[in-house]
Structure 1
Amino acid sequence: MENLLDSDLLFVGVGVVVVFLGLGTIIYGIVSWLKSGKKVSNRIEQFVNAEPIVSEGGPKRPMIVQREISGSLFNRTIVNWFKKILQFLGRFTPEKLVVDLEHKLTIAGNPRNMHAGEFYAIRFLAFVAGIVVAFILNRDFKNIDLKMLGIGVIIVLLCYMYPTVWLNGKVRVRQDEIQRGLPDALDMLSVCASAGLAFDQSLLKISGYWDTDLGHEIKRVTKEMEMGISRATALRNMSNRLDVDDLSRFVAIIIQAEKVGMSYADVLHSQALQMRVQRQFRAREIANKLPGKMLFPIALLIFPAMLAVILGPSIPAIMDLFSTL
C-alpha cells in the first residue's frame, strides 16, 4: 500500500511538471501563431507595395527580397523556442533588478548574448528543477528521512544559486583580465604618444594590435568617436561598462588633462609608471596572502599523512606494550 502511495505521489509530481510545461507550450504556441499571422501579412504587404523594376525587354514585376537562412535546424527551432520562453518569463522580472543585472552582464561581456530577463528565467527554471528533484527524493511523506530532506534542500539551494555564482565568476575573471592588461596598454599608449601619434590614433593602434577584452573595449571607444560621440563621453562609457577602479581613475585623469590642456604624452607616461607600481604591490599582496591560504590544506591533508608515516611503524609496538599490562 505504501509503495502504491509513493508511486502515486511520484506520478503527481511528474504530472504537475508536465502540465506546467504543457501550458507554457500552449501559451507560447498561441502567441507565436498570432505573431506569425502578422508576419505573413506584413510580408505580403511588402511584396505588394514593393517598387517595381523593369527588366530588359520584359514587363514590370515587383522585387522580392529573399531571406537568408543561417544556422542549423536545431538552432533555428529548439534553441530559438527556448529563448522565446526565457524572454516570456523574463517579462515578469522587476525593472530595478533588470537594470542592475544588465549592468552586471555588460561587465561580464554579455556571455552567450544573454539578457537580464533570460538570466532570471534560467534561474527560475533551475529553481523549479531543483524543487522537482528534491520532491522525487523525498516522495515518502510518511517516513521522512532527515538526511534525504537535507540533501533535497541543498539541491534546491544549489540550483537557485548556481546561475548567480557563475555570473559573478564571469564578472570577476573579466575584470581581473582587464586590470592585468591595463599597464601594458598604457605603456603602448605612452610609446605611441611619444612617437607623435595623437591620442585617438594611439587608441586605434592598440585596438588593432590586441585581441583581448580590453582591446575590444578600446575598439568600441574608437567606433563611438567615429560616430560623433565626444572622446570624454566614449571613455566614460567604457569606464561605466567595465567598472574597474584603475581604469576609472585613468579615464578621469585623461578627461581632466583634456580640459586643462596638458600633454597626453606626459600624462600617459606617469599613468603607465603608476599602474606598473600598483601591479607590483598587488602581486606582493597576493603572495603575502598565500601562507594563510595554505594553512588549511596543510593541516587537513599533509599533517595527517605525516603522522601516519611517522607513528605508523610504532603502533604495533605500542599495542603489544599495552596488551602485556
Structure 2
Amino acid sequence: MIKLLANSNVYLILGAVIISFLGLGLLLFTIFSLKKRRGNMSARLDQIEAPIPQVVNNPVDGQIIGREISGSLLNRTIDNWGNQILGYFGKFTPAKSIADLEHKLRIAGNPNNLQARQFYAFRFLLLLAGIFLAFFLNRDLSNFNTTTLLYGVLIVYIFYALPVIWLRGRMRTRQEGIQTGLPDALDMLAVCASAGLGFDQSLQKISDYWDTDLGKEFRTATTEMELGSSRAEALKNMSNRLDVNDLTQFIAIITQAEKIGMSYADVLQSQAVQMRILRQHRVREQVNKLPAKMIIPLALLIFPAILVVIMAPLIPTFLGIFK
C-alpha cells in the first residue's frame, strides 16, 4: 500500500511538472504573439500606401510578392497562431464584459493593440498558470493542510488579478498624464486663438507639435472632424475615450460656448487659469497626504532601527545583572 502511494505521488508530481511546463510555454507563446502582433491601423495604412511591391527577378512569370507574404516566416506563422488561440479562448466571454473592457482599453490607450477577447484569454491563461504553480508547490499531499490551501488560493488569485492590476495602472497613468498636461494645452489653445486661428486649426497646430497622449487625442479629434463629424461630436468622442473629469468639463463648456456664440479666446483663457488652479490644489493635496503615508514606513523600519541603536549598549549590562 505504501509503495502504491509512493508511485502515485511520483506520477502526480511528474504530471504537475509536465502541465506546468506546458502552461508556461503557452503563456510565453501568448505574450510573444501579443508583442509581435501588427494590428495597428496606421501601420496597416502605411503598408498599403507603400511603394509598388517587390518583383521577383524572373522574366518568365514576373510574380509579385504580395504584402501579406512579405514578412518573415516567423511573423506569418506565430502571429496567426497566437491570434487564433487568443480568439478561441475569448469566444466564451460575455458581450457586456467585452464592451466594458474595450472602454477600459481605450482609456489605457490600447496598449500593444490588445483587444478585449485577447485580454480575457490572456487572463484565463494566467489563471491556468497560477493553478499549475499552486498545484506544483503543494505536490506533497502528506503535508497538505489549511495553510497550504490558503497559499495555493492566494497564488491563483494573484495570477488571475495581475492583468487587471496592470490595466488599471495603465489607465491611471494615462489619465493622470492627460490631466496634468491639460492646463498647458489650454494655454497653447488660448495663444493660438488670440493669434487669429480657429478652434479646429488650434487643435491641429497643437497635435502637430505635441507627441503626448493628449496631443494624439487632439489629432484623432481633428481627423474625425476632417472626415465629416461635427466639432461637438468629435470632442464628445474624445471625452468618452479618456474619461477625465477636467477634460469632460472643458469640452462641455466649449460646446456651450459654441451654441451661444461666445469668443473662443476668452473661454480658453478663463479655462486655462481655472485648470491651472485645480492642478495646484491637487499638488498641495498630495503634499498634505505625505505625512500620513510616511507613518507606516517609519513605524516598521525607522523606529525599530532607532530602538536597536539605543538599547544595544544596555544589553551587556542587563546580562551582567542577571548573571
Query: Structure 2 length normalisation: TM-score?
Result: 0.82
Residue 70 of structure 1 and its aligned partner are, at CA, apart by 4.8
Residue 149 of structure 1 and its aligned partner are, at CA, apart by 2.9
2:3 is aligned with 1:4: no
Q: Which amino acid aligns with 1:67?
A: G
The alpha-carbon distance between structure 1 residues 63 and 228, as it changes in their structure 2 partners (threshold 3 A), is farther
CA distance in 2, matches of 1:262, 1:82: 53
Residues 144-179 of structure 1: CA deviation (Å, up to 9, x unaligned): 144433332221111110011110100000000000
1:251 corresponding residue in structure 2: 251
Residues 40-72 of structure 1: CA deviation (Å, up to 9, x unaligned): xxxxxxxxxxxxxxxxxxxxxx99764124544
2:186 corresponding residue in structure 1: 186
2:254 is aligned with 1:238: no
The alpha-carbon distance between structure 1 residues 319 and 6, as it changes in their structure 2 partners (threshold 3 A), is same
Q: Is the 8 A contact 2:20 2:136 kept in 1?
A: no
Q: Secondary structure of the equivalent of 1:149? A: helix
The alpha-carbon distance between structure 1 residues 254 and 12, as it changes in their structure 2 partners (threshold 3 A), is same
Residue 314 of structure 1 and its aligned partner are, at CA, apart by 1.6
2:78 corresponding residue in structure 1: 78
CA distance in 1, matches of 2:213, 2:178: 7
1:220 corresponding residue in structure 2: 220
Residues 123-159 of structure 1: CA deviation (Å, up to 9, x unaligned): 1111011111111222333441444333322211111
The alpha-carbon distance between structure 1 residues 20 and 133, as it changes in their structure 2 partners (threshold 3 A), is closer
Query: Structure 1 length normalisation: TM-score?
Result: 0.82
Moved more, 3-12 or 248-257: 3-12
2:57 corresponding residue in structure 1: none
Moved more, 287-296 or 74-83: 74-83
Residues 58-89 of structure 1: CA deviation (Å, up to 9, x unaligned): xxxx9976412454433322233112100111
Q: Is the 8 A contact 2:20 2:133 kept in 1?
A: no
1:27 corresponding residue in structure 2: none
Q: Is the 8 A contact 2:13 2:139 kept in 1?
A: yes
2:205 corresponding residue in structure 1: 205
The alpha-carbon distance between structure 1 residues 63 and 269, as it changes in their structure 2 partners (threshold 3 A), is farther
Q: Which amino acid aligns with 2:164?
A: T
Q: Secondary structure of the equivalent of 1:314? A: helix
Residue 18 of structure 1 and its aligned partner are, at CA, apart by 9.2
CA distance in 1, matches of 2:98, 2:84: 17
1:97 corresponding residue in structure 2: 97
Q: Which amino acid aligns with 1:91?
A: K
Residues 222-279 of structure 1: CA deviation (Å, up to 9, x unaligned): 1111111100000000000000000000000000000000000000000000000000
1:171 corresponding residue in structure 2: 171
Residues 184-207 of structure 1: CA deviation (Å, up to 9, x unaligned): 000000111111111111001100
CA distance in 2, matches of 1:307, 1:134: 39
Q: Is the 8 A contact 2:93 2:117 kept in 1?
A: yes
Q: Secondary structure of the equivalent of 2:313? A: coil
2:88 corresponding residue in structure 1: 88
Percent identical across equivalent pairs?
58
CA distance in 1, matches of 2:141, 2:193: 73
Structure 1: which 5+ runs fail to align?
22-61
CA RMSD of aligned residues (A): 2.3
Q: Secondary structure of the equivalent of 1:313? A: helix
Q: Which has the higher contact order (CA 8 A, sep 6+)?
A: 2
2:150 is aligned with 1:150: yes
Moved more, 91-100 or 146-155: 146-155
Moved more, 2-11 or 276-285: 2-11
